[in-house]
Amino acid sequence: MTRDDEAPTLAADEQLLVLPDDLRHELKEPMGPIETDAERLLEAVDGPVIAVGDVVTYHLLQAGHRPDVALVDGRTKRSAVDEEIHDAVTEGASIEVRNPPAELGAPVVRALRRALATDEPTTILVDGEEDLVALPAIVAAPSGASVVYGQPDEGMVHVKVDDDHRAEMRDLLERFEGDTERFWALLEDTDDGA
């Protein structure tokens, strides 16, 4: 993991999308209901679970449910998570990628797609920031899957993936800066060997 003053960077051909400043306010609103109890949240789950964030992943693990896909970066609210959380959520991490803050790079998009395609629970350890990966996860996950991410100081946001959520996330991602055409090709193409 990088130190705070060493933000990870990607080669130009690996950088896909960057969050523009004028979209940040839209991402502050939760995309689904907020739950503070992981066991109660899990009662509403009947498909694969994609967890975005260390604390969310930890709470799901504590409730006895290993997410099908977990994305963690060792941080919460811009600070390092405590050792107990870090050890629990990184145990068995199977993919490590770089993804700079406020960006969606090719490595994390490929890792997300690979994790969604496998039958084994997969933890993606992100050097940088994983927060924005909730957006492409909602687009790429199968209908009925649950994408769960943290809402700072409020709880866990539970998005049950359906066509309406996918359309909303597609629209949002289209408004990012960068190579949206290549982003969609990487997220949706299953034949490029990634």
Q: Is residue 193 domain-resident?
A: no
Q: Is 89 annotated as a binding residue?
A: no
Q: Is residue 117 domain-resident?
A: yes
Which range marks the domain in which residue 40 is found? 15-188
- Between the alpha carbon of residue 192 and those of residues 110, 133, 166, 189, the distances in Å are 10, 20, 23, 7
Q: Is residue 5 domain-resident?
A: no
Q: Is residue 194 domain-resident?
A: no
Q: What's the total number of domains in the chain? A: 1
- Mean pLDDT across 169-180: 94
Task: Say whether pLDDT at 9 is over 80.
Answer: no
Q: Is residue 3 domain-resident?
A: no
Q: Is residue 141 domain-resident?
A: yes
Q: Is 56 annotated as a binding residue?
A: yes
Q: Is 103 annotated as a binding residue?
A: no
Q: Is residue 6 domain-resident?
A: no
Q: Is 54 annotated as a binding residue?
A: yes
Q: Is 55 annotated as a binding residue?
A: yes
The predicted-structure confidence for 106-141, as pLDDT tens digits, reads as follows: 999 999 999 999 989 999 999 888 889 999 999 999
Whole-prediction pTM:
0.88
- Mean pLDDT across 165-179: 94
d(CA 172, CA 182): 16
Task: Say whether pLDDT at 160 is over 80.
Answer: yes
Q: Is 130 annotated as a binding residue?
A: yes
The predicted-structure confidence for 62-110, as pLDDT tens digits, reads as follows: 999 999 999 998 777 767 777 888 888 888 778 999 998 899 999 999 9
- Between the alpha carbon of residue 134 and those of residues 70, 109, 121, 142, 166, the distances in Å are 10, 11, 17, 14, 11
Q: Is residue 152 domain-resident?
A: yes
If you average pLDDT over each of 15-24, 46-55, 75-84, which comes out highest? 46-55
